[in-house]
């Protein structure tokens, strides 16, 4: 009888267990709301996402954040032109070469060189003749003055000698000016007086790098306005930025701006504001601002892109890591943890950025827990 009772009891328990399992299987899954993602406790995705609490941080509320581009400092760029028409006989530098002030960069063969030398020699000879005339006029004046004192000549003779002396002095002054002008011309061409057949040497006007070249050895150049090459001193460079007119009030001459460059993503540079445009671009509604950066190592190059930032006011507010933020059709949102394994898509209004943190003005409060890593694993659910 005991055996029969045990068997009957085991059968009853098995029947109850089956009914419980069937009831559980028939029970509906937990209800989810629109925008909510639920992950089972054993889901491998739970081990791949990171959840953190919303924190408080100092976030800029009045800030300039605009694109920027490096430019050559216009105060430190020089163009080498040929002072005369002639044939380029030699070119000593290449694009990108570093040059020193006064270093030869090219030579030109030109008939104007001999013309300049001849003009100097003629002016020098004329000056010698005018000086000789002055000595004679001075002597004649003194002789006539002595004769007049002894009443050996008429006063008219002395007056004529005095006029001749004044004229001789004026001619010497003119000859001196002509000689100096001819000498300056020789200096401009880099020529020595008295040596015909010289070639004109063009030299770097400043120390720096050759940024542009428009010259070929052997060509004839008669345009004295077109630059053969451009040399720039890159020890300082400028960053140019188009600042929105709504933010230009935060920028003042002499202030320091924070510069971030795409070429050096983990570095920050400081630049002093040197120029602010006097008008607003009517198309972009921006104001051109230029600031100067020190570049002693020469690694900051013209045309590099980056961001220009300047913080006017900071405020304490809720902040979250930038990777936690997703973009949807209605704007920015995050996944907020409502319970273990349950995450609600939560719209937010973002503010400015401070490093890797982004300020949040609405949608979250300090202490809320959100997904900060692995958000894309939830987006597809």
pLDDT average, residue stretch 77-91: 88
User: Which tens digits make up the pLDDT trace of 287-322?
Assistant: 999 999 999 988 999 999 999 998 877 888 899 999
HSE-up (13 A, CA, CB side) for residue 69: 5
Cβ 95 vs Cβ 348: under 8 Å: no
Residues of the chain with CATH 2.40.30.170: 64-74+232-313
Rounded to an integer, the average pLDDT of 168-180 is 91
Please provide the CATH number assigned to the domain covering 75-229: 2.40.50.100
Q: What was the pLDDT predicted at 295?
A: 94
Contact indicator for 193, 130 with CB cutoff of 8 Å: no
Q: Does pLDDT of 11 surpass 60?
A: no
302, 76 Cβ separation under 8 angstroms: no
Residue with tokens 């937010």, as numbered in its chain: 348
Find, among 228, 222, 181, the residue nearest to 203 by Cα. 228
> Where in the chain are all domains bearing CATH 2.40.50.100?
75-229
Instruction: Report the CATH fold assignment for 64-74+232-313.
Output: Elongation Factor Tu (Ef-tu); domain 3 (2.40.30)
Looking at residue 77, what is its pLDDT? 92
Residue 212 has a pLDDT of: 92
Q: Give span(s): CATH 2.40.420.20, the chain.
A: 36-59+315-379
Contacts by 344-351 with C-beta closer than 8 Å and gap 24+? Answer: 344/33, 344/35, 344/36, 344/37, 345/35, 345/36, 345/37, 346/35, 346/370, 350/325, 351/59, 351/61, 351/317
Highest mean pLDDT among 28-32, 290-294, 329-333: 290-294
Residue 147 CA: distances (Å) to CA of 135, 143, 155, 156, 159: 18, 6, 10, 12, 13
Both tokens assigned to 249: 């009030």
* CATH code linked to domain 36-59+315-379: 2.40.420.20
For residues 54 and 318, give the distance between their C-alpha atoms in angstroms, rounded to a whole number.
Answer: 7
Q: What is the pLDDT of residue 124?
A: 84
DSSP secondary structure string for all residues of 119-167: HHHHHHHHHHHHHHHHHHHHHHHHHHHHHHHTT-S-HHHHHHHHHHHHH
Give the H or E element holding residue 13.
helix 2-26
Give the pTM. 0.58
Each residue's pLDDT tens digit, 211-270: 999 998 999 888 888 899 999 999 999 999 999 999 999 999 999 999 999 999 989 999
């Amino acid at each position: 009888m005991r055996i029969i009772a045990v068997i009957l009891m085991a059968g009853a328990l098995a029947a109850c267990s089956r009914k419980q399992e069937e009831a559980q299987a028939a029970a509906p899954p937990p209800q989810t709301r629109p925008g909510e993602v639920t992950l089972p406790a054993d889901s491998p995705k739970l081990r791949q996402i990171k959840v953190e609490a919303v924190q408080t941080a100092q976030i800029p509320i009045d800030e300039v954040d605009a694109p920027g581009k490096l430019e050559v400092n216009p105060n430190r760029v020089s163009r080498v032109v040929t002072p005369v028409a002639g044939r380029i006989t030699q070119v000593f530098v290449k694009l990108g070469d570093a040059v020193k002030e006064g270093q030869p960069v090219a030579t030109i063969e030109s008939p104007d060189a001999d013309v300049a030398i001849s003009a100097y020699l003629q002016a020098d000879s004329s000056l010698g003749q005018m000086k000789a005339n002055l000595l004679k006029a001075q002597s004649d004046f003194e002789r006539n003055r002595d004769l007049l004192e002894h009443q050996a000549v008429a006063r008219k003779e002395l007056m004529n000698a005095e006029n001749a002396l004044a004229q001789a002095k004026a001619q010497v002054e003119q000859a001196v000016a002509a000689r100096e002008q001819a000498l300056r011309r020789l200096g401009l061409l880099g020529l020595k007086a008295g040596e015909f057949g010289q070639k004109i040497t063009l030299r770097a006007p400043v120390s720096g790098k050759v940024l542009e070249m428009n010259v070929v050895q052997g060509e004839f150049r008669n345009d004295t306005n077109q630059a053969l090459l451009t040399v720039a001193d890159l020890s300082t460079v400028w960053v140019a930025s188009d600042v929105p007119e709504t933010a230009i009030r935060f920028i003042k001459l002499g202030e320091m701006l924070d510069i971030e460059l795409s070429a050096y993503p983990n570095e920050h540079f400081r630049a002093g504001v040197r120029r602010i445009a006097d008008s607003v671009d009517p198309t972009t509604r921006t104001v051109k601002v230029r600031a100067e950066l020190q570049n002693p190592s020469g690694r900051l190059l013209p045309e590099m892109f980056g961001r220009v930032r300047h913080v006017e006011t900071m405020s304490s507010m809720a902040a979250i890591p930038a990777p936690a933020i997703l973009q949807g059709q209605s704007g920015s949102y995050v996944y907020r943890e409502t319970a273990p394994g349950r995450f609600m898509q939560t719209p937010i209004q973002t503010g400015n950025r401070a490093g890797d943190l982004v300020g949040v003005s609405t949608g979250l409060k300090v202490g809320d827990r959100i997904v900060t890593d692995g958000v894309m694993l939830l987006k597809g659910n």
